[in-house]
Structure 1
Amino acid sequence: MNPALPIDAVLPTLLQQLSRSGSCLLVAEPGAGKTTRVPLALLQQISAQQASVQQGRWLLLEPRRVAARLAAGYMAEQLGEAVGQTVGYRVRGEQKISKATRLEVVTQGILTRWLQDDPALDGVTGIIFDEFHERSLDADLGLALVRDVQQGLREDLQLLVMSATLDVPALLAVMPQDTPVVHCPGRSFPVHLLYRPVALQDRLEQQAARVVREALQAHAGDLLVFLPGQAEIRRLQRELQDLATSGVLVAALYGQLPLPRQQAVLRPDPEGRRRVILSTALAESSLTVPGVRVVIDAGLERVPVFQPRSGLTRLDTRRVNRASADQRAGRAGREAEGWCYRLWSAEQLLVPHGEPEIMQADLSGLVAELAAWGIKDPQQLDWVTPPPAPAVAVGRQVLQQLGLMDDRMGLTPLGQKARRWPTDPRLALLLEKAAEMQALPLACWLVAWLEERPQGDDPDLLHRLEQRPQKATGGSDGRWYQAARLWAQRAGCTLELQRLDVAAELLLCAYPDRVALRQGKVEATSGGADQVSYKLVRGGQAFLPASHPLARSKWLMVLDLDGQASGARIYQAVALPDAVMAPRLPAESDWQVRVYWEASQQRVVGEEVQALGALVFARRPLQQMPAEAVARALLEGLRERGKLPWSEADLQLLGRLKLLQRVLGDSWPEVSEAALLARAESWLLPRLQGITRLEQLQKMPLGQWLLDSLDWSQQQALARLAPVQWRVPSGSCINLDYSGEEPVLAVKLQEMFGQTTTPVIVDGRVPLLVHLLSPARRPVQVTRDLAGFWAGSYFEVRKELKGRYPKHPWPDDPLQAMATARTKKAQQQSG
């Protein structure tokens, strides 16, 4: 009999709400049992309602392959069946399903391909998005496409989104109207937090090893250690290898481990030994590791970050967010009271949540999927987080350069053809070109390497290919072989290499923007060894040790960099023969006009060049720069700069517009710097004709141009709702200050005699913050309550300032006194 879990108490409500509404959000804390209990309950409900068990298939989406396999295995075990009967799974390169399967556990990327092949999802009753808080790119895209299917093809398709921490308002904004939200508490015990920061002179694994030994002595139960990646896991394993003699098992857990080894870690040790489990973020959610009483958290995670400048995605090691840190700590309190050692100081500030992958990923694959779906503008779909317009533009540019997308944002015939390969657009193109060149075995090895990135210190990929594994061994080379064999099965070919000579040409088809040209030799920053500098076709420099054979190559195809802005290290590359590069180089008569922003000179520069991307072989001055090109180059320079040269008066206008947008909402445009630059084509670009220098633009009326972009009714309303000046009781018209969070009226105290009500703007919605000034124009009181000031604080101010400013009136009754901007003598003379 299964033990009771917190989710059991809310299952009847959840099933009822989902059946009634067709969609639901489930916020279930860690340990509630949502991943395995909810899908099985839905299957039972379908069986009770339908005569045939062959109908009513559900899809459960998991963020990782290991989570999908393990969840399917656990649920099948609960039913007393083998995986592939009622419950099966489908991940990249592997599936266990049958005609009897009614619950398929799939990874999130599988759903997108499934939807493209069968938008109506025939035979599918509903879809469950599990652990949606991780906000992977595949999950965001999948939800947007499912919502499109619901609205256009399948109103009956049920949708359940669940996680421990959901952004409920953002999700409700894209879910069907009146989508219910069900909350479920978790099952957890107190977890005590202890901080053990890593000293500057120590390596992470040294401190982690010390804390592991401390925790083994202080507490019972197994230990779960969170580390950013496999390299750190291997180093810590070496630091802890002596623990085996004391009966402690040190085990690793990460996504690329073979499934049997992953499953072994998720069960108690059959010999009864204490365990120290070294894991990546894999164990943070989706998986429960039994027996854990202590968590040791390095507080780091490794995430892919796309670098538009280099066109490469690098793995960035950074501090975890607070939600992830709490998730990790909670693993110690699943079964009993626990302890969490954090390898950072208690004063360390963590950001509340992680950034969705859609905000930092290469979006060329997403753009290709949208084009295949028939979507030209991503705004046509409902997104929890819309894809950033600049990243979408870069993705389109990449696809057009590859010949996969046309100028109308649709897929070309080559793009349509390449879609038969279920992988990234670049790799799909590589496979398609290889098919034309009868080099599919080579392409299978290349694509498998580019997807799996097996470990190794040799930067020369062609040399790695010559030393490729010949069978499914352990480790990363074994995974490379398995992935290559899977691609060979898809392509209908063997893995026997016969045409290694075309590897460079194939890679150049897929990565034309990763070419690098040898520049010369430089001295290394440390160690004293020489390095060779290469200039990248997209700009920037990268380096190879001068002693490496690749460093003698004039041209390289750079496949992996460390992502540094300058002095980047080349991790993986292929030499490009001159014969391969020659067709892509400019001819003697091939001159390109280039008009661009030169940041160092703060001006637009025009020239003619013979070039390949950023690699310029010859240049000459441009006699006359096209006006449209000048304007666009200036605009790109402003976007690179990140701000416009506003005058003080312009900043006041921006403050007025920001206030109205904040108070009145979307009826007023957003005027943040980023928003204005994003839509600058409509209001600024037409005005930039003939302006080539920043100093020229600084003299232009930017504020007036922005004001002119508003419609007539908005211009009239702006003057009324957020006036430039305010007439005070003395008769003076005082300029309001909109530069801060609140509008300010700074006025001499004597000019406000008799005024008891605080002035308000925006049709009475926003009170002015009144700065009452001394005769020397120094603030003596800041208030939104004038009546209260006159009745109380005024007399303290009067007492303090009357002797300092005797020429100015300080009446006993300020409410009956005449408001004035003059001295007493000037008042008498005018009277």
Structure 2
Amino acid sequence: PPPVPALNEARALLVALHAIDAAGRLTDAGAAMRRLALPVRLAHMVAEAAATGHALAAATLAVLLTERGLGGDGADLERRLMRFRTEKSPRSVSARQLAERLARQAGGGRSNEPASAGALLIHAWPDRVARARGERGRFVLANGSGAMLDAADPLAGETWLVVADLQGKAQNARITAAAAVDEADIRAALADSIETRRETSFDRDRRAVRVRETARLGAITLAERMLPAPSGADADRAILDALREHGLSLLDWGKEAETLRQRLGWLNRGLGAPWPDVSDAALLDRLDDWLLPFLTGAASFAAINSGALSAGLVSLVPHDLQRKVDALAPTHFDAPSGSHVPIRYDGEWPVLAVRVQELFGLDKHPAVANGTVPLTLELLSPAHRPIQTTRDLPGFWRGSWADVRTDMRGRYPKHVWPENPLLAAATSRAKPRGT
């Protein structure tokens, strides 16, 4: 038996040429091909040509390809075909008579319209339709291989070829026989093999979804064009697809939504379920649950505001817990000075960064989660530089405050540095002038 790879390749070729069906049964086209004493690719070319009245032209080309030296040895089969038709040698005459017999066997009428060699060859080598790329004489074939012609060859300037013969390695094979062909002939003959696909991509510069339509024949791009941006449900799906590919950094969270996400993340880490996991991985996995319902059908990330993201995050919290978010993880701390100071939840413990003068008189350490979790205090100088970090404010007042006061009085003489901060009035301002 023949080697399995070779057998599979032969079967695939017969299916591609419509000689057998997927189950391996002979088709009507295959039966017509079998009546012709030609290699399978050339038999298919002649049988197909018979249906359009070009059996003799195809048979003549087939004989030219099977008998070396007819019409010369140039790469351009159209030129060789023209010479072959007028050659007077006994060999050429005999070859043309063979072509006439093959054409009669193929049947069909005769068309008054001429057929180009390229248009005929498509039916023999659909996988070797080639498109010019890069420098002159370089081509890519539909089967993905690369091929080349000498830059001086007239065919080297053509956009489209059908390649009948190659010599050398796959990516740098030299074209030894080919014919120019029109794109219209390719599209007409291989319509069933041309794949039209719409590809959605994300334009980072514009922060918008774009849609491109491509028509491809194997490895060759026949055409591509940009389509209008999607809208409605298609746009929403495209937004989700872009997020899954590029990550949540595409979203403009804004301060409100980012803070809410940090608060929920801290509650999840500290209390666990049913507080939702709002890590990147978890949110990407549940985009349909929390983000999709709040999208508006626009294919632009600029249309997704912080309010929509916040609403989406809240929707992940069980309804009976939604009112507890502010109580357990408040956004701000009301300092004794009257300032509304934001609390950060981006670390293991919530952090309050506040100027030390704003806490004078406070003898109880600030806490969240109904007073069960002490805030990490980043005590700041009047210039908002860190002085000390503590989770025990009363201990700080009674301990290291004296050393801090000594150091800070010289640096910031315009601000209040009392010996006993518990008896001083909290303030967010410097001392009044003249004091």
Match of 1:801 among 379, 394, 408: 408
Give 1:731 deviation, angstroms. 3.5
SS at match of 1:638: helix
Are residues 674 and 520 of structure 1, via their aligned partners in 2, closer, same or farther at CA, if it must alter by over 3 Å? farther
Q: In the TM superposition, what are the counterparts of 1:410-449 in structure 2 within 5 Å?
A: 445-446=4-5
- Contact kept, 8 Å, 1:532 with 1:551, in 2: the verdict is no
Match of 2:286 among 662, 679, 695: 679
How large is the Cα RMSD of the aligned pairs?
4.1
Counterparts of 1:827 and 1:737 in 2: how far apart (Å)? 37
SS at match of 1:736: strand
Are residues 709 and 773 of structure 1, via their aligned partners in 2, closer, same or farther at CA, if it must alter by over 3 Å? same
| Aligned match of 2:193 | 585
SS at match of 1:666: coil
- The question of 1:645 aligning with 2:154 is answered no
Counterparts of 1:614 and 1:630 in 2: how far apart (Å)? 29
| Aligned match of 2:28 | none
Counterparts of 1:642 and 1:535 in 2: how far apart (Å)? 35
Give 1:798 deviation, angstroms. 0.5
Match of 2:341 among 734, 740, 752: 734
Match of 1:597 among 202, 219, 222: 202
Give 1:624 deviation, angstroms. 7.4
Taking CA–CA contacts closer than 8 Å with sequence separation of 6 or more, which of the two structures ends up with the larger relative contact order? Answer: 2
Letter in 2 for 1:640: E
Letter in 1 for 2:297: G
List gaps (5 residues or longer) in structure 1: 1-440, 447-461, 463-496, 510-514, 524-529, 537-541, 554-577
Are residues 535 and 506 of structure 1, via their aligned partners in 2, closer, same or farther at CA, if it must alter by over 3 Å? closer
Describe the superposition over 1:503-562 as per-residue Cα deviations: whole angstroms up to 9, x where unpaired. Answer: 46799x9xxxxx999765669xxxxxx9976899xxxxx886978543379xxxxxxxxx
SS at match of 1:802: helix
Counterparts of 1:517 and 1:737 in 2: how far apart (Å)? 63
Counterparts of 1:516 and 1:652 in 2: how far apart (Å)? 59
Give 1:786 deviation, angstroms. 1.5
Counterparts of 1:614 and 1:696 in 2: how far apart (Å)? 37
**Structure whose alpha-carbon radius of gyration is higher:** 2
- The question of 1:617 aligning with 2:222 is answered yes
Q: In the TM superposition, what are the counterparts of 1:514-529 in structure 2 within 5 Å?
A: none
Describe the superposition over 1:100-129 as per-residue Cα deviations: whole angstroms up to 9, x where unpaired. Answer: xxxxxxxxxxxxxxxxxxxxxxxxxxxxxx
| Aligned match of 2:295 | 688
Q: In the TM superposition, what are the counterparts of 1:536-555 in structure 2 within 5 Å?
A: 548-551=168-171
SS at match of 2:389: strand
Are residues 506 and 606 of structure 1, via their aligned partners in 2, closer, same or farther at CA, if it must alter by over 3 Å? same
Letter in 1 for 2:271: L
Counterparts of 1:535 and 1:658 in 2: how far apart (Å)? 52
Counterparts of 1:535 and 1:789 in 2: how far apart (Å)? 77
Give 1:660 deviation, angstroms. 0.8
Give 1:600 deviation, angstroms. 5.9
Describe the superposition over 1:172-221 as per-residue Cα deviations: whole angstroms up to 9, x where unpaired. Answer: xxxxxxxxxxxxxxxxxxxxxxxxxxxxxxxxxxxxxxxxxxxxxxxxxx
Letter in 2 for 1:501: A
Give 1:719 deviation, angstroms. 0.9
- Contact kept, 8 Å, 2:210 with 2:228, in 1: the verdict is no
Letter in 2 for 1:803: G
Describe the superposition over 1:375-413 as per-residue Cα deviations: whole angstroms up to 9, x where unpaired. Answer: xxxxxxxxxxxxxxxxxxxxxxxxxxxxxxxxxxxxxxx
Counterparts of 2:171 and 2:404 in 1: how far apart (Å)? 77
- Contact kept, 8 Å, 1:728 with 1:751, in 2: the verdict is yes
SS at match of 2:423: coil
- The question of 1:631 aligning with 2:236 is answered yes
Q: In the TM superposition, what are the counterparts of 1:174-189 in structure 2 within 5 Å?
A: none
Describe the superposition over 1:583-619 as per-residue Cα deviations: whole angstroms up to 9, x where unpaired. Answer: 75238xxx66655434565322245554579965334
- The question of 1:769 aligning with 2:399 is answered no
Give 1:696 deviation, angstroms. 3.5
* Matched residues, number: 291
Are residues 545 and 534 of structure 1, via their aligned partners in 2, closer, same or farther at CA, if it must alter by over 3 Å? closer
- Contact kept, 8 Å, 2:141 with 2:147, in 1: the verdict is no
- Contact kept, 8 Å, 1:521 with 1:531, in 2: the verdict is yes
Counterparts of 1:670 and 1:731 in 2: how far apart (Å)? 34
Give 1:698 deviation, angstroms. 5.9
Are residues 704 and 661 of structure 1, via their aligned partners in 2, closer, same or farther at CA, if it must alter by over 3 Å? same
TM-score, scaled to structure 2? 0.55
Counterparts of 1:519 and 1:585 in 2: how far apart (Å)? 16
Counterparts of 1:521 and 1:716 in 2: how far apart (Å)? 64
SS at match of 2:377: strand
| Aligned match of 1:349 | none
Match of 1:785 among 392, 395, 399: 392
- Contact kept, 8 Å, 2:274 with 2:317, in 1: the verdict is no
Describe the superposition over 1:8-39 as per-residue Cα deviations: whole angstroms up to 9, x where unpaired. Answer: xxxxxxxxxxxxxxxxxxxxxxxxxxxxxxxx
List gaps (5 residues or longer) in structure 2: 17-21, 23-126, 149-166, 174-185
Give 1:797 deviation, angstroms. 1.1
Counterparts of 2:403 and 2:241 in 1: how far apart (Å)? 56
Counterparts of 2:214 and 2:133 in 1: how far apart (Å)? 25
| Aligned match of 1:743 | 350
Counterparts of 2:277 and 2:218 in 1: how far apart (Å)? 35
| Aligned match of 1:704 | 311
Describe the superposition over 1:354-394 as per-residue Cα deviations: whole angstroms up to 9, x where unpaired. Answer: xxxxxxxxxxxxxxxxxxxxxxxxxxxxxxxxxxxxxxxxx
Counterparts of 1:683 and 1:730 in 2: how far apart (Å)? 39
Counterparts of 2:236 and 2:334 in 1: how far apart (Å)? 42
- Contact kept, 8 Å, 2:209 with 2:229, in 1: the verdict is no
Counterparts of 1:663 and 1:616 in 2: how far apart (Å)? 54
Give 1:655 deviation, angstroms. 1.0
Counterparts of 1:551 and 1:786 in 2: how far apart (Å)? 74
Letter in 1 for 2:395: G
Give 1:724 deviation, angstroms. 0.3
SS at match of 1:667: coil
Counterparts of 2:346 and 2:418 in 1: how far apart (Å)? 33
Letter in 2 for 1:630: A
- Contact kept, 8 Å, 1:744 with 1:769, in 2: the verdict is yes
Give 1:814 deviation, angstroms. 1.6
- The question of 1:660 aligning with 2:267 is answered yes
Give 1:661 deviation, angstroms. 0.9
Give 1:639 deviation, angstroms. 2.2
| Aligned match of 1:724 | 331
| Aligned match of 1:308 | none
- Contact kept, 8 Å, 1:730 with 1:821, in 2: the verdict is yes
Letter in 2 for 1:754: G
Q: In the TM superposition, what are the counterparts of 1:479-558 in structure 2 within 5 Å?
A: 500-503=9-12, 548-551=168-171
Are residues 723 and 504 of structure 1, via their aligned partners in 2, closer, same or farther at CA, if it must alter by over 3 Å? farther
Are residues 658 and 623 of structure 1, via their aligned partners in 2, closer, same or farther at CA, if it must alter by over 3 Å? closer
SS at match of 1:597: strand
Q: In the TM superposition, what are the counterparts of 1:223-622 in structure 2 within 5 Å?
A: 445-446=4-5, 500-503=9-12, 548-551=168-171, 582=190, 584-586=192-194, 595-599=200-204, 601-606=206-211, 608-611=213-216, 616-620=221-225, 622=227
Give 1:815 deviation, angstroms. 2.2
The share of aligned pairs that are identical, in percent, is: 36
TM-score, scaled to structure 1? 0.31
- Contact kept, 8 Å, 1:597 with 1:636, in 2: the verdict is no
- Contact kept, 8 Å, 1:750 with 1:821, in 2: the verdict is yes
Counterparts of 1:778 and 1:594 in 2: how far apart (Å)? 51
Are residues 597 and 775 of structure 1, via their aligned partners in 2, closer, same or farther at CA, if it must alter by over 3 Å? closer
Counterparts of 2:311 and 2:128 in 1: how far apart (Å)? 46
